[in-house]
A and B are shown apart, each in its own frame.
Chain A
């Protein structure tokens, strides 16, 4: 998967590396701000109230 990505990304080693890092960062941002907030309410951690 990552090998394929490495081959598909154009440019020299430096440019490839930079592009990979940017992609990883973008994936992180999407997870942190969109995926995680929607997952969090379903996690069985930190329930503070009693009853209901």
Chain B
């Protein structure tokens, strides 16, 4: 009986340590994969910039660099096409079928909040007017934050061409960032909106 109890206790403590280790893995271990893959995507973007020709973008391809000065001078991630589980492990993903960078309509990006290098961890700190810089191979597009919202995961109208008004015809270029909310949860989504304010063509 005593041995049984002791074994039970030992197993419980071991399981507890393993779960702590799992939390550490989710928070920090997953990021190393993202960092490695970001290198691959950045290289791909540099090559695309040399070619300076925009063809069809396939799932998994690098789309653009995102830079947000408010979140730090070295805040930059390569955005890739696709928002599947595997895509978002590699970096912020662009919703296929939503507008291309700088084009009229909604350029929608999703990114992890706490795991896989947590690219969108601090987008709740963005304020109205903050710049979201998208460096696409053909041009640099600067969006300005216009609003923030917390929604339930089923509110797909936030990614409509005119956010919040599905079916409406877009007349301006907007950006929408989505991530999970609250942190460490999957209950809601934090959504940040922006409007295109400047475009600078890249010299080739």
Which residues from chain B sit less than 8 Å from chain A, CB to CB? 6-7, 10-11, 18, 21-22, 25-26, 29-30, 83, 85, 88, 95, 110-116, 120, 151, 153-156, 158-159, 178-180, 184-186, 189, 191
In the complex, the chain B residue whose C-beta lies closest to that of A51 is B156
Contacting residues, chain A, for B191 (C-beta < 8 A): 50
In the A-B complex, list the 8 residue pairs whose CB atoms are closest, starting with the nearest: A51-B156, A47-B186, A48-B110, A36-B25, A1-B10, A49-B110, A46-B115, A44-B186
Q: Does A8 contact B (CB under 8 A)?
A: no
Contacting residues, chain B, for A48 (C-beta < 8 A): 83, 88, 110-113, 120, 178-180, 189
Contacting residues, chain B, for A32 (C-beta < 8 A): 21, 25, 29
Measured between C-beta atoms, what is the minimum distance from B10 to chain A in Å? 5
Contacting residues, chain A, for B85 (C-beta < 8 A): 41
In the complex, the chain A residue whose C-beta lies closest to that of B176 is A50
Query: Inter-chain contact count A-B, CB under 8 Å?
Result: 78
Q: Does A18 contact B (CB under 8 A)?
A: no
In the complex, the chain A residue whose C-beta lies closest to that of B92 is A48
Q: How large is the interface on A (under 10, 10 to 19, 20 to 34, 35 or more residues)?
A: 10 to 19
Q: Are B186 and A46 in touch, CB under 8 angstroms?
A: yes
| Set B11, B26, B178: member contacting A49, Cβ < 8 A | B178
Q: Are A46 and B180 in touch, CB under 8 angstroms?
A: yes
Bound-state CA distance A43–B186 (Å) is: 10
